[in-house]
Structure 1
């Protein structure tokens, strides 16, 4: 399931901070954007219905946690993006990214290691 941009923001807060109440998520989100409590609550309720969040109802304030991992979410988003924007060509995606963004020596070394590992595995 592909989360919306707003849902991704909430997931990032939960991935970073762990289980949180709506108020705690709102406190984090409001540092970078203007969002009201009822909007955050509604989004998190919808995410719970979609299976993106788990909700612990034991406490007075419900606590939410991510029901999906950051890795599986990123993998799904990248797979869909590669299919739709680059017609399935991972190399076109990589070339576009490397051509558009400044890449550090450390990142390039990490990419080289990944490519070497992929070559060994094949």
Structure 2
């Protein structure tokens, strides 16, 4: 089965699971509701069922409740999403993606400093592998 990228709603649910570790359907529902999402609990349950089929989550049964956990790592999932975005929207051009990100939300001074650190680390890593 090829890896499937999560939808926006699935990503929200994964965010809850990444933050909390394991959750019941009710706990995921309550967390999303607390974030202002207007969802029915059975809708969350349906999403979790589909996410199990897509191998994005796993579950174990605890009494009558199903306890869900993310089956995909947050870092890997983010990397796959970014890679897909760069290829689909920017024809593989990382600089065009970064420029669009800057246009959408100008970075703070702290973010610019962190980006400079990342560039230096990336360049240092490239030199070591040559």
Task: Tell me if both proteins adopt one fold, taking TM over 0.5 as the criterion.
Answer: yes
Structure 1: segments with no counterpart, 5+ residues: none
Task: After TM superposition, give the deviation of residue 4 of structure 1 in Å.
Answer: 0.7
Structure 2 residues without counterparts, runs of 5 or longer: none
One of 18, 28, 32 as aligned partner of 2:31 = 28
Match of 2:12 in 1: 9
Residue 95 (1) aligns with residue 99 (2): yes
Residue 78 (structure 2) aligns with: 74
Secondary structure at 2:102 match in 1: helix
Structure 2 Cα separation of the partners of residues 102 and 6 of structure 1: 26
Deviates more, 1:57-66 or 1:75-84: 57-66
1:30, distance to aligned residue in structure 2 (A): 1.2
1:87 deviates by 0.2
TM-superposed CA distance for 1:106, in Å, is 1.1
CA distance in 1, matches of 2:114, 2:92: 23
Partner of 1:84: 88
Q: Name the SS for the 1:63 alignment partner.
A: strand
2:112 matched to which residue of 1? 108
- Number of residue pairs matched? 122
Pairwise CA RMSD = 1.0
